[in-house]
Structure 1
Amino acid sequence: MSETLRVVLADDDSLIRTAIDAILRPAEGIELVAQAADGRSAVDLAVRHRPDVALLDIQMPVMDGLAALREIRHLAPAVQVVMLTTFDQDEFVARALDSGAAGFLLKESAAEELAFAIRAAASGNAYLSPKVTRQVLDRLPAAPTGPDRDREKIEALSGREREVLVLLAQGLSNAEIGQQLFVSEGTVKTHVYRLFTKLGCENRVQAALLAQRAGLLT
């Protein structure tokens, strides 16, 4: 991750692009390097500029945000993708998270939250807007393999890995998990990597969703 976080933005609404541009210009350590109005252009810009984070609207012309997300994850996997959403797009959000999105953010979010989400995603700490996180989790459909399969995956974890997963799913950072468990942040990173491998997850959001489906958060 570069010292200055480089961001690509894609949204077919010019007013949204203008508003986000205005928010990010004064944000310290964040640079909006390119903008697009459709998903195909977003993929091209992500591949060309290799930004730290791509902000993608879910519904765009030519190629929608979900297809653009999948293309970016395939062609430029180091680019973290945060989806821009509204309250009435929960079903798209669930599909985006399952496709490897680093999180999602309401278009109506405050400037501070937008900058925080970009920094979190760039650091590998996936971000879900707290205003709708619980609503999205509650409305997620069961995985195709079912919750029983999720619980089988959980059983493959060590006791410590399960503790880390629960804290991760509650939104804690690696440093915060380390403080809770009285271990170093490096040790937490090792546990996170191992549990990702065992669960078949690409990021923290997918791991949190699996934990939720398996009943670890109830």
Structure 2
Amino acid sequence: MNPPDITTTRFLLADDHSLIRQGIIFLLEDFELEHEIFQASNLQQLLESVKMNSIDLAIIDAHFPDGNSLSILEELKKMRPEMKILIFTGIDESTYSLRYLNAGADGFLSKMNEEEEIEQAIRKMLDFGEYISPLTQALLKSSIKNPQLINPLSALTERELQIAEMYAEGLGNLEIAGKLDVKQNTVSTVKKRIFDKLEIENLVELIELIKNNQ
């Protein structure tokens, strides 16, 4: 009589801090399931690991030295549509969780949580394929009435978005004014309004927002 097949669950732990990865490894050892663990400390390693291995659950940080994981979620899902993604990060859940879920993540978990909550989140990801915290559930309900929670660019008018995209393309006030046939101080005024609405302070943040929300 042949022994029953034992299914191996493949995890990918992607975080640039080895202590975080090690902490999750210790946690998974208590799950009493046959598993294999792959690790990545930057976006390039993350992409390569997903490409090379049939990952069941990827536990991924938001920020890496070489970029933001938000920008590659769509690519990861195209590579492995069946793979579940849990964002495990220190960034503010109330500000960012909906953006990551909207971009393709299946769960969002704050590193500020207690170990018990972290374990519960991972178990829910394994059992149901998603983890939505009470806070994010409330945000999802609010987002029906306020789309800006998912895509902050929706707060901009058509002209503001047009100018924001020009800034993101590398154009300056003078060039934008010339292209739109308006005064340069008008462009400066719109720029200030854009920054106020998006709650950002510089062009680097603006470029990141546009890249991640279009």
What range is the shorter-chain TM-score in?
0.5 to 0.7
Residues 46, 34 of structure 1: alpha-carbon distance in 2 compared, 3 angstrom cutoff: same
Instruction: Give the conservation status (yes or no) of the 8 Å contact 1:39–1:67.
Output: no
Residues 39, 87 of structure 1: alpha-carbon distance in 2 compared, 3 angstrom cutoff: closer
Task: Measure how far apart 1:118 and its partner are.
Answer: 3.0
Residues 47, 90 of structure 1: alpha-carbon distance in 2 compared, 3 angstrom cutoff: farther
Residues 47, 114 of structure 1: alpha-carbon distance in 2 compared, 3 angstrom cutoff: farther
Task: Measure how far apart 1:8 and its partner are.
Answer: 0.3
| 2:23 paired with 1:19 | yes
Choose the corresponding residue for 2:82, options 50, 59, 78.
78
TM (norm. structure 1) is 0.56
2:175 matched residue in structure 1: none
| 2:153 paired with 1:142 | no
Instruction: Give the conservation status (yes or no) of the 8 Å contact 1:66–1:96.
Output: yes
CA–CA distance in structure 2, aligned partners of residues 8 and 111 of structure 1: 19
Task: Measure how far apart 1:18 and its partner are.
Answer: 1.8
1:133 matched residue in structure 2: 136
Instruction: Give the conservation status (yes or no) of the 8 Å contact 1:24–1:32.
Output: no
What pairs up with 1:11-160 in 2 under 5 angstroms?
11-29=15-33, 31-86=35-90, 88-130=92-134, 132-134=135-137, 136-137=139-140, 140=143, 141-142=146-147
Task: Measure how far apart 1:5 and its partner are.
Answer: 2.2
Residues 91, 39 of structure 1: alpha-carbon distance in 2 compared, 3 angstrom cutoff: farther
Where relative contact order (Cα < 8 A, 6+ residues apart) is larger, the structure is 1
Task: Measure how far apart 1:123 and its partner are.
Answer: 4.1
TM (norm. structure 2) is 0.57
The one-letter amino acid paired with 2:24 is I
Between the aligned residues of both structures, percent identity stands at: 30
CA–CA distance in structure 2, aligned partners of residues 9 and 86 of structure 1: 15
SS in 2 for 1:84: strand
5+ residue gaps, structure 2: 1-5, 155-214
CA–CA distance in structure 1, aligned partners of residues 126 and 64 of structure 2: 23
CA–CA distance in structure 1, aligned partners of residues 96 and 44 of structure 2: 18
| Aligned-residue CA RMSD (Å) | 2.7
| Bigger mean CA offset, 3-12 vs 23-32 | 23-32
| 2:27 paired with 1:6 | no
CA–CA distance in structure 2, aligned partners of residues 87 and 63 of structure 1: 14
CA–CA distance in structure 1, aligned partners of residues 105 and 60 of structure 2: 10
CA–CA distance in structure 2, aligned partners of residues 122 and 47 of structure 1: 21
2:206 matched residue in structure 1: none
The one-letter amino acid paired with 1:102 is D
Task: Measure how far apart 1:73 and its partner are.
Answer: 0.6
SS in 2 for 1:22: helix
2:158 matched residue in structure 1: none
SS in 1 for 2:38: strand
Structure ID, larger Rg: 2
The one-letter amino acid paired with 2:136 is T
Instruction: Give the conservation status (yes or no) of the 8 Å contact 1:43–1:72.
Output: yes
